[in-house]
Amino acid sequence: MRLSDFILRDLEPIAKQWEAFAATLLPAAGHMEPLELREHVKEMLRDVAMDLRTSQTREAQREKSMGRGTGLIDPEEETAAQKHGVLRALAGFSVNQLAAEYRALRASVLRLWMDNCKSEAPDLGDVIRFNEAIDHALAESVTSFNAQIEQNRNLLLGMLGHDMRSPLQAIQVTASYLAVLNAGEQVSKAAGRLIRSGARMQALLNDLTEFNRTQLGLGMNVIPANINLADVLADEVDELRAIHPDRQIDLEVNGDSQGDWDGPRLQQLLGNLVLNAIKYGAPDAPVRVTVTGDATHVRIDVSNRGAAIGTATLARIFDPLMRGPDRQSDDERIGSLGLGLYIATEIAKAHQGAIETRSDDTETTFSVSLPRGRAEA
């Protein structure tokens, strides 16, 4: 009997073996009903049988063996294997347990089929194609499993960041109250430390919130208005100078800088780029901010002198959680998640703009190009 015929004939016995094995995958399986343990397995087996019954060229078989086969399932429709991966992720299975289910399914189907074929030799071509079909289903399940786990993690981090805001605000308000009580030098110093630590925690939570918005597909929230970008950025530069009185930050403006942008967001973008330049640039050289307007765009250049950024680092410099050369002090490590450049580029994208980086032995420059048109809210 051909393997596809056997699978379709013995769906129920195979599903029972699947269910019995899945029930051993504790602790997650201990909270699931029998129907949940076997959900999607018959649908997956029918997909496998359909695949086995479809003729394939040698080239198609070779492509499929390397994970590039498309199979018979409509790519716009979620497969049973993909649904199964999501179900197992929501149920609390590990990826190893998910893979173990497919390993057990492969073994049980082949063992039952070979027992059925005692009087005749099993078709080796069916065995090869069956293994490819199971591998394909496993890959689909693992992909959807990982995507669901990633979404769960981002939702958890988002809720954590949101729920931490209220107690943090209470700490900051209390510290500010202590600072103005005139209760002595020690109390004032302690209140000052609380205020500075609270500000660093607030910055971390803000970065975490923005990161989770982008990871959940919500994008960066912007509210455009007609502004003079040079004036808005000049205010941010003044604040940065006050925070870093030991560093020289120069601002130069050329051309028209009027347009439709979200001012606070672009202040955040500039602040992230300047802080990065201060952190990694030569401490005795100025950080230069240049705003240049032309007919359709405004460009913001942030330049600093110092060691060149390596090619490998430059290629991934806007990746989330990516850090540059290890030159931060302990205090700087506490105040950064490595999301500054990632958030900067997401703000640029929300304005239909882009950031480019160039670096050599003399200077590193981040260039932001922003169209004057209205960004998407």
pTM summary value: 0.54
Query: Are the C-beta atoms of 295 and 376 separated by less than 8 Å?
Result: no
Instruction: Give the pLDDT confidence score for residue 97 in this predicted structure.
Output: 93
Q: What angle do CA 276, 336, 353 make, to 5 degrees?
A: 50
Tell whether 158 is covered by a domain: no
Instruction: Give how far Cα 15 sits from Cα of 25, 52, 77, 108, 258, Å.
Output: 16, 19, 23, 10, 67
172 and 265: one domain? Answer: no
256 and 130: one domain? Answer: no
How far apart CA 97 and CA 37 sit, in angstroms, is: 13
How far apart CA 356 and CA 88 sit, in angstroms, is: 41
12 and 144: one domain? Answer: yes
148 and 176: one domain? Answer: no
Tell whether 178 is covered by a domain: yes
Instruction: Give the pLDDT confidence score for residue 215 in this predicted structure.
Output: 65
Tell whether 335 is covered by a domain: yes
183 and 260: one domain? Answer: no
Tell whether 327 is covered by a domain: yes
How far apart CA 319 and CA 214 sit, in angstroms, is: 12
Instruction: Give how far Cα 229 sits from Cα of 61, 130, 290, 291, 367, Å.
Output: 58, 62, 12, 9, 15
> How close are the terminal C-alpha atoms of the chain, in Å?
62
67 and 126: one domain? Answer: yes
Domain termination residue (choose one: 129, 153, 177): 153
147 and 173: one domain? Answer: no
Instruction: Give how far Cα 158 sits from Cα of 105, 269, 274, 341, Å.
Output: 37, 21, 27, 20
Tell whether 376 is covered by a domain: no
Tell whether 159 is covered by a domain: no
Look up the domain containing 13 and give its range: 3-153
Q: What is the mean pLDDT of the chain?
A: 83
Instruction: Give the pLDDT confidence score for residue 188 in this predicted structure.
Output: 81
The per-residue DSSP string of 301-320 comes to EEEE-SSPPPHHHHHTTTST
Tell whether 377 is covered by a domain: no
Show the tokens assigned to 60. Answer: 């198609």
Domain termination residue (choose one: 105, 125, 153): 153
174 and 149: one domain? Answer: no
Report the CATH number that the domain containing residue 113 is assigned in CATH: 1.10.490.70
Report the CATH number that the domain containing residue 249 is assigned in CATH: 3.30.565.10
Q: Domain tally for the chain? A: 3
Specify the 3-state DSSP secondary structure of 181: coil
Q: Which residues contact 360 (CB under 8 A, 6 or more apart)?
A: 308
Domain termination residue (choose one: 153, 177, 201): 153
186 and 67: one domain? Answer: no
Per-10-residue mean pLDDT of the chain, 377 residues long, equals 90 92 91 88 91 80 63 64 91 92 93 82 82 90 89 70 70 79 79 76 72 67 90 92 90 93 92 90 93 93 91 82 50 55 89 92 93 63
Query: Are the C-beta atoms of 324 and 339 separated by less than 8 Å?
Result: no
245 and 122: one domain? Answer: no
69 and 205: one domain? Answer: no
Reported as half-sphere exposure (CB side, CA atoms, 13 A), residue 219 has a value of: 11
133 and 61: one domain? Answer: yes
Instruction: Give the pLDDT confidence score for residue 245 in this predicted structure.
Output: 87
How far apart CA 14 and CA 9 sit, in angstroms, is: 10
Tell whether 160 is covered by a domain: no
